[in-house]
């Protein structure tokens, strides 16, 4: 008796669910997708300590919205971004078309991505997809899966050039003139990033080797901020705001809420 009425109720419920199958199943599916499963990630990217949320967005030519969609854990405004962590930069539904002809970058009007292409995941300064050092190495990669993130590909750097840091091939210091170089002229006064020499040192040293002189968490000695050394910009001569790229400044770029902190 008992068993059969349970069975009857069960069948009744089943009938109800089955009757509404289309609506119920679809909304459950949609809900499950939103709640748990995202399309697969096509490229994970490990940021370096210089990389900010804005850098990743710029490098991979995606929108903030797309980046947050691919990494829901980051929260609104990319607040949860931690330099050095690995993030998904391309999920299936937010990719640009993969380059079919091997052309990429600014030369192709950023209309296609090398990532996932048969040529390789990196776009060289001439706008060709490929792999290996010549395409992915620091200073050789304009977009895509570039080694170590974004670096200058033409020797121009700093504020006037999208805050690009300098790769070894052009010299590691970004001079006050927005050009990369290893010479004292680039690493001394006005130096924007890289192993800048202490501003007060009057070229006693010939070698621009990194010489951290301030303890972590102190006022930025070189215009860099956040990340490993946790230098703060307030009180530095470079500006009071720390950009997501890790440089001090006073412009809207460094001070806007979403980019800086
Ligand atoms: C990216 O990382 C996620 C999580 O670790 C993993 O599930 C996914 O397969 C990775 N995708 C690629 C293309 O490596
Ligand atoms: C890129 O855009 C410019 C201006 O709209 C156009 O003249 C050029 O042909 C485009 N190049 C490619 C490769 O699509
Ligand atoms: C600059 O110095 C670095 C580190 O010593 C070196 O690897 C690089 O080749 C140099 N670059 C130039 C352009 O001299």
- Whose C-alpha lies nearest to ligand 1, atom 6? 41
When the pLDDT of each residue in the chain is averaged and rounded to a whole number, the result is 76
For residue 109, the CA-to-ligand 2 centroid distance in Å is 6
Residue 223 falls in which region: left (phi positive, over 0), alpha (psi -120 to 50) or beta: left
| Whether the model pTM is above 0.85 | no
Instruction: Taking residues 70-90, report their average pLDDT.
Output: 90
The domain locations on the chain are 1-37, 105-144, 155-204, 215-261
DSSP state string for 25-46: HHHHHHHHHHHT--PPEEEEEE
- CA of 211 from ligand 3 middle (Å) equals 16
Residue 188 and residue 173: Cα distance in Å, rounded? 9
From the CA of 111, give the closest atom in ligand 2: 14
Residue 36 in this model has a pLDDT that exceeds 60:
no
| 44 CB within 6 A, ligand 1 | yes
Residue 256 confidence (pLDDT): 64
| Topology adopted by domain 155-204 | Wheat Germ Agglutinin (Isolectin 2); domain 1 (3.30.60)
Separation CA 122–CA 27 (nearest Å): 40
Beta strands in the chain (DSSP E): 41-46, 86-91, 122-123, 129-130, 143-144, 173-174, 180-181, 241-242, 248-249
> How far apart are alpha carbons 98 and 11 in whole angstroms?
50
Which protein residue's CA is at the shortest distance from atom 8 of ligand 1?
41
- Say if residues 173 and 196 touch (Cβ distance below 8 Å): yes
Question: Which residue's CA is the closest to the ligand 1 atom numbered 2?
Answer: 44
Q: Which residues line ligand 3 (CB under 6 A)?
A: 168, 170-172, 182
Secondary structure of residue 107 in the 3-state scheme: helix
Lining residues, ligand 2, CB within 6 Å: 108-109
Lowest mean pLDDT among 22-26, 47-51, 122-126: 22-26
Ligand 2 midpoint to CA 112 (Å): 13
pLDDT class for 43, splitting at 50, 70, 90?
Answer: confident
- For the CA of 42, the closest atom of ligand 1 is 13
pLDDT tens digits for 141-194? 998 888 887 799 999 998 888 788 999 999 999 999 999 999 999 999 899 999
| Pairwise pLDDT comparison (23 vs 182), residue with the higher score | 182
30, HSE (Cβ side, Cα atoms, 13 Å): 5
């Amino acid at each position: 008796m008992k068993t059969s009425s349970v069975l009857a109720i069960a069948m009744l419920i089943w009938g109800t669910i089955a009757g509404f199958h289309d609506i119920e199943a679809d909304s459950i599916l949609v809900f499950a997708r939103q709640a748990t499963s995202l399309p697969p990630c096509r490229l994970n990217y490990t940021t370096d300590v210089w990389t900010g949320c804005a850098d990743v967005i710029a490098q991979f030519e995606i929108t903030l919205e797309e980046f947050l969609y691919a990494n829901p854990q980051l929260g609104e405004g990319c607040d949860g971004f931690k330099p050095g962590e690995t993030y998904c930069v391309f999920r299936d539904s937010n990719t640009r078309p993969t380059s079919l002809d091997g052309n990429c970058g600014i030369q192709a009007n950023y209309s296609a991505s090398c990532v996932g292409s048969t040529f390789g995941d990196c776009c060289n300064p001439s706008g060709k997809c490929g792999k290996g050092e010549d395409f992915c190495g620091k200073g050789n990669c304009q977009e895509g899966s570039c080694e170590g993130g974004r670096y200058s590909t033409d020797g121009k750097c700093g504020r006037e050039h999208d805050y690009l840091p300098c790769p070894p091939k052009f010299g590691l210091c970004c001079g006050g003139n927005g050009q990369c170089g290893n010479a004292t002229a680039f690493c001394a006064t006005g130096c924007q990033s890289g192993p800048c020499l202490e501003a007060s040192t009057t070229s006693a040293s010939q070698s621009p080797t990194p010489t951290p002189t301030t303890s972590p968490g102190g006022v930025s000695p070189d215009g860099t901020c956040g990340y490993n050394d946790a230098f703060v910009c307030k009180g530095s001569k470079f500006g009071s705001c720390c950009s997501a790229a890790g440089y001090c400044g006073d412009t809207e770029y460094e001070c806007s809420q979403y980019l800086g902190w």
